[in-house]
Structure 1
């Protein structure tokens, strides 16, 4: 760190040092998130693995199934450059075929590509048990396969999956780095180290590969390719050439599945992500819980696998006798496996730079929790770019941008000149990637990212190539376009609105609306919020284009259907509160439907069977109204919306799909296996929370201790439901009653959704419209953080405890139905609980309908309420600065 002596004259050298200090990112201001733009370059890729960027923004990338493709930004299209006949299967001793990770793994350009047109491909030949690094000559167009020169073969076993590696990188000395996986099936090891030394179990012993100094698997290799297609060994690899029982190509050993590499251009250090094992819990008899790692190699070294993970050692374990032995010594690890062909005494183990488990990491909490698969990413230095249009700002100077294939974040990691961790933070917190598998900066300064999608061994619709552009100058306007009506009968008068449109630079904006029908211009408007009149039936598109004085523009559209009125649907309660549910209470309801063209329920021109009616319970953590509204308008099976949202939020989709087997069984397979079992829900809920293996083979399912029993139970209910044939959902009657039984384990967390919907018949010119009515009943216990407004209230860090600061402080609940509510109770954390308070209607000084004295028994204080009807804003007004409130209990008795 540079220290300035402020009592000395500021010299030119001092100013230069200050500039350098700022350029290193140490004092540069963090840029606004809206200066970064996500640009989608290509969608619906097919198992993309690794890419390289050519001049002009072209992207050459490899797909695991064997295709090498080229994306051209000038045309917006991709073409197939070559197709390799690759091995993607493993064949067990019993002859069983299963999908593996092998295939076309990667591509990289030679440092002198502009002159020699050489590219290097890492792939798995169909007929040989090797993963091959080959050089080809390619100058555009189709790849001539006859130009192949085989550079290096990594001998592998193809009896069991997994771990291929495949990351490639050239350094400034034109040395080529290649990552290789341990080629070991580790999921039969209970989540611990796979060192099965029994005869015939070599595929399950990583000591044959990662821990073997005489094997190229489980390594990062460093070679210097030569013009004739051979290679030489650079100085500084782990074992000098000629060392008995070693391979000189090895730069690092003790790797499990190292992925994407980067080199810090400032110091030459090598960085990468390392995918770890699947165990969730530690054991005194076996060793640590599992970790993924992000690593730094300042020089050649041993990174520990399979004897160490994270910063912890495993114990030797005899798979034949089930007995544990000594802990491995990080200073002098030994490999005495019968599958080892290398040295017995290995180099000392090197600690990881960052390591993180399934649970929230104590050291690195910013990484979150859940499934994990460390990828890697680039280090930003402005000096690496010349005249880059989208050069990242100085704030990111020297930071390592890393990503995780499962968790989908990008983190910016700061470290010091000695390579010691300083901090990390989310880069673009509102950006969530879907299976990021490769990430690097392009010549234009943009951050390019390839997304594989969330799943295994299949084409996924979310797989895409994107880039993140930084704009340090004039920014495009942010546009919002809405209409007060998106459907209605003729003539249809519509008020268009640009409300929410903004410009981050504060520039004045001009507005232009174009209204089109079937692609033909109907009318234009130049006001920000114009009114339009549609007199003929059809579907119209109103497109708003907003332009700033520099010519930067952005657009957004809203679709309007004219010629068919939207049905009016109401879910009416004839008995019961419309804001809260009270366990065991019965609600009487009646649905009404009226449609201008179709008629109504009342006149029997609309039949009850045509109206969708559902009542369902949804779990915590989601906007229940939004979830319900996003259901297919005629789908009354919304009961599993919460479960599906939980699945999307967790790591379930990384290993399971609904109806096809992935890394784990499909949800439908699980449902059929346990169909009819009365204990299945409880058993599977415990298994998901605790983790386990053995039922569906050796695949290890991690523990999910961060999820509540109720959350997991809701997922299991959904999974088990898949054993039933999907008949049409049973409709509830349009008039009836419903008893709100509280769901297991969901105290103060869930909501009941009452929903009715009707889709009308539409016409030839105007599409059908759906009307719906939704009533959300919340749990009558409200966490204080979920109240609607506050005044004069102090909160703790996570807003779980509220403390009134003075007399007159209040907590507000908006638009609350008071029908049948008898009492309001506050729960607290100390003997003063909440202190004395009043309950007032519609204003902090409004009508008093209840009051309470201060608590004397410690935890709760309550106010009896005067009988009131209808919906009101409720104000809880405190008489003193006292107490700590955690929850508000609404009571009907």
Structure 2
């Protein structure tokens, strides 16, 4: 599960945690002063529409929008495209022969247009080129001809700087302009991060040049690990403006440097109204603080003036690293943010560095104390545009005044976009999620505001380093007026025999409440549609029909929904019966007796070859999983798969194909004979590490629990093996022990299905499942909590009348129940009722105090003989002391 984004320079992303921020409203820090963001006129999210303009891309990098609406954008491997808003088509204008070898992850990285593009149609490209045996990063200018071709002969090299090609990380590559023809250029530190354990790469030993960011980001005489600022004239020549970090002629410095101390400022922007520079700083790996210094942080930075932002000596809010001797592994004093000194022998510039500026926002893999709304998980910060609302702009799609002066920043790994609010002095005040429910962002890698006030975005796509199906150019438009309605068909009977009469429901709605909707139904291609809101229609012939509902509002805007009706067959009926308990398998239970019954209205004779019965055993399910029933079956069977699917693991891994990290099947094959692999890999996901699959490191994931990572590893380990399901006859006795092995904490899943012959149309399949679990319920699996709290794996803070439920429990053969609990001061009574908290009582037992919440005891209670599945409600009784804190309940175990 190695996870890293190398052209974007993220040394190690995360396997988990694509989480939407916890709130949609702006969040104010306690120190935010008098500014309060206006949330009273926030537009409804459904007023925004996302349109895919082009979706056949491979590693898109940066885009630029011309005043006439043309969108220019590039791919890392060298392709340069133009989207034409008039024809709504995308053209490949040129394929640059750039140095974009996969190992080195350079290439065509950036593009920008001339600030006076309407009169001077110049495009500027940031790309990697080979000059003899030297590799360089080059910014060059080209002219776009009137026929939208790129004049290759017009190339004018603006600036170049060498790179160490053997470093496959940290390229930078973004460009932006201010209002004074100053071009800002971001460059990465061009340093190998893998052998510094996720901390500062300051290895100054001989022969370790590319492992020392002091030679680049910390070097005032080197253009790497910087944001440069140069003034470019109309001839393509540059001069250095006043106000950069080092005055012209200062010994041991480069005057082009505006910002130094950057690790990988991969995406930058400039607010042309204030000339303030914003960028996302992609930080180092470590998920925990260590002897060398602080854990890794990503940063959103702001430079109102030139400055040093600290890397590789500081990270986050200027947290210092220690001086560290990589040869002896000894730790020395902390670096001083007020007076940092670069004493590396690889430093070719001045040793005394400017004092360090703190970032605007910083956040680790885990939850940020200062910015909790950013969530947890992988980090890949990107700095986006600042929006300025113009009332004079005639546009039906421009962002509303609500977002005036908002800075948009985004995270490639967490797939969110934030609108950041600043005060009148451009100081951070708050942030809020932008389109958190409907944005469906697919790893945003660049975004700009277009001339009409819409947002243009490049989405890299789901998986790093491959040709993603969802790598695309999109536009986000705002609709200030009438919105289209939403058509929605409902129907209870969608399958049956002719004549089939279906009563259709209508769940259509309109966001603009004043609109009256008109309806048009098409059932079987009739020339005259039905206009009733909820019609009934009889299908008299066999066939498969697409029913179509069109909902139209008063302004003529429409939406369409369809529903499939199948006439000529009915679903088979499948049932599983057993004389054993239908909820539990018991300790030392060796067999399960079962019978699968199948009926079908159209198949007079049931074909046994069409009946499929199989038994699977799922290893241990985490104790803090929700209570498992048939409705959670798919999630239960693939619990680890579900956890991975809900994470950003797929950014760097595929099931069977290699991406930036190894395929899951390869991981499974590598460790299939290692009995310690599950525990070892589960721990490694949390703590991080590297060296097994190459030079790349796997980041730490401190936000994950051991149970979660264990389930993820178990799923991955299963991928290299043949399916473990056993095919069974339609009835019989199955040997449970043969499937279970030594694990007593998993689930048996007995599945039965039948596919009929199709009747007059297509075959149909019905499946039924019997899920058997251990008799022990962890308290965390309880539902319907009333006046009781979930405390990790336990339930606590219970008082007189507190209750919880375990639903769908088969009590056939159950005689007793055992509670494992802790109770510091008070004993109480615990009763079980069926059906509801006021239903019949089937068990009552007193328990006594154990003297401490962490001292646990068992108490066993008798259950009245009860058959069949029941919803059980457990109620605590202490009427003589209703405020007493009664229990820390760990588990409930049913006894046969």
In the superposition, relative to structure 1, how do residues 27 and 493 fare at CA in structure 2: closer, same or farther (>3 Å)? closer
Can you list the C-alpha shifts for 1:508-528, whole angstroms capped at 9, x where unaligned?
433323346xxx668843333
TM-score, length basis structure 1: 0.84
Q: Which runs of 5 or more structure 1 residues have no equivalent in the other structure?
A: 1-20, 90-97, 632-637
Residue of 672, 682, 685 corresponding to 2:682 = 685
> In structure 1, the residue corresponding to 2:579 is in which secondary structure?
strand
Alpha-carbon separation, structure 1, partners of 2:626 and 2:392: 43
2:753 equivalent in structure 1: 757
1:653 equivalent in structure 2: 650
1:196 equivalent in structure 2: 203
RMSD across aligned positions (CA): 3.8
Residue of 297, 306, 317 corresponding to 1:291 = 297
In the superposition, relative to structure 1, how do residues 304 and 806 fare at CA in structure 2: closer, same or farther (>3 Å)? same
Residue of 90, 105, 108 corresponding to 2:109 = 105
> In structure 1, the residue corresponding to 2:373 is in which secondary structure?
helix
| TM-aligned CA deviation for residue 114 of structure 1 | 1.6
Residue of 555, 562, 576 corresponding to 2:560 = 555
Contact 1:833 1:861 in 2 (8 A): no
| TM-aligned CA deviation for residue 71 of structure 1 | 2.8
Alpha-carbon separation, structure 1, partners of 2:148 and 2:165: 33
| TM-aligned CA deviation for residue 299 of structure 1 | 0.6
> In structure 2, the residue corresponding to 1:199 is in which secondary structure?
coil
Q: Please say if 1:720 is aligned against 2:687.
A: no
1:52 equivalent in structure 2: 64
Residue of 854, 864, 867 corresponding to 1:866 = 864
Contact 1:628 1:753 in 2 (8 A): no
| TM-aligned CA deviation for residue 130 of structure 1 | 1.2
| TM-aligned CA deviation for residue 721 of structure 1 | 3.5
Alpha-carbon separation, structure 2, partners of 1:46 and 1:627: 39
Can you list the C-alpha shifts for 1:299-342, whole angstroms capped at 9, x where unaligned?
11111111111122222333344444443221222223232222
> In structure 1, the residue corresponding to 2:192 is in which secondary structure?
coil
1:359-508 map, 5 Å:
359-383=366-390, 386-430=393-437, 431-499=439-507, 501=509, 503=511, 505=513, 507-508=515-516
Q: Please say if 1:568 is aligned against 2:563.
A: no
Alpha-carbon separation, structure 2, partners of 1:559 and 1:624: 32
Select between 193-202 and 466-475 the one with higher mean Cα deviation.
466-475
Q: Please say if 1:249 is aligned against 2:245.
A: no
Residue of 267, 274, 278 corresponding to 1:271 = 278
| TM-aligned CA deviation for residue 217 of structure 1 | 1.2
| TM-aligned CA deviation for residue 251 of structure 1 | 0.8
Alpha-carbon separation, structure 2, partners of 1:571 and 1:801: 34
Residue of 302, 306, 316 corresponding to 1:300 = 306
2:812 equivalent in structure 1: 819
Alpha-carbon separation, structure 2, partners of 1:511 and 1:784: 51
Report the number of matched residues: 844
Can you list the C-alpha shifts for 1:194-220, whole angstroms capped at 9, x where unaligned?
223333332222122111212211111
Alpha-carbon separation, structure 2, partners of 1:400 and 1:833: 56
Select between 394-403 and 110-119 the one with higher mean Cα deviation.
394-403
Alpha-carbon separation, structure 1, partners of 2:799 and 2:673: 57
Residue of 344, 347, 351 corresponding to 2:351 = 344
> In structure 2, the residue corresponding to 1:411 is in which secondary structure?
strand
> In structure 2, the residue corresponding to 1:542 is in which secondary structure?
strand
> In structure 2, the residue corresponding to 1:454 is in which secondary structure?
coil
| TM-aligned CA deviation for residue 279 of structure 1 | 2.0
| TM-aligned CA deviation for residue 275 of structure 1 | 0.6
In the superposition, relative to structure 1, how do residues 867 and 470 fare at CA in structure 2: closer, same or farther (>3 Å)? farther
TM-score, length basis structure 2: 0.84
In the superposition, relative to structure 1, how do residues 624 and 855 fare at CA in structure 2: closer, same or farther (>3 Å)? closer
| TM-aligned CA deviation for residue 796 of structure 1 | 8.4
Contact 1:169 1:261 in 2 (8 A): yes
Contact 2:614 2:750 in 1 (8 A): no
1:507-546 map, 5 Å:
507-515=515-523, 524-546=529-551
Contact 2:581 2:810 in 1 (8 A): no
Contact 2:463 2:651 in 1 (8 A): yes
> In structure 2, the residue corresponding to 1:124 is in which secondary structure?
strand
> In structure 2, the residue corresponding to 1:262 is in which secondary structure?
strand
1:150 equivalent in structure 2: 157
Contact 1:784 1:885 in 2 (8 A): no
Structure number with greater CO (CA < 8 Å, separation at least 6) is 2
In the superposition, relative to structure 1, how do residues 121 and 102 fare at CA in structure 2: closer, same or farther (>3 Å)? same
Alpha-carbon separation, structure 2, partners of 1:746 and 1:29: 56
Contact 2:617 2:747 in 1 (8 A): no
Alpha-carbon separation, structure 1, partners of 2:394 and 2:886: 58
1:163-178 map, 5 Å:
163-178=170-185
Contact 1:253 1:302 in 2 (8 A): yes
Select between 251-260 and 54-63 the one with higher mean Cα deviation.
54-63
| TM-aligned CA deviation for residue 802 of structure 1 | 7.3
| TM-aligned CA deviation for residue 849 of structure 1 | 2.8
1:161 equivalent in structure 2: 168
1:85 equivalent in structure 2: 97
Contact 2:78 2:100 in 1 (8 A): no
Can you list the C-alpha shifts for 1:202-242, whole angstroms capped at 9, x where unaligned?
22221221112122111111112111111122221111222
Contact 2:66 2:117 in 1 (8 A): no
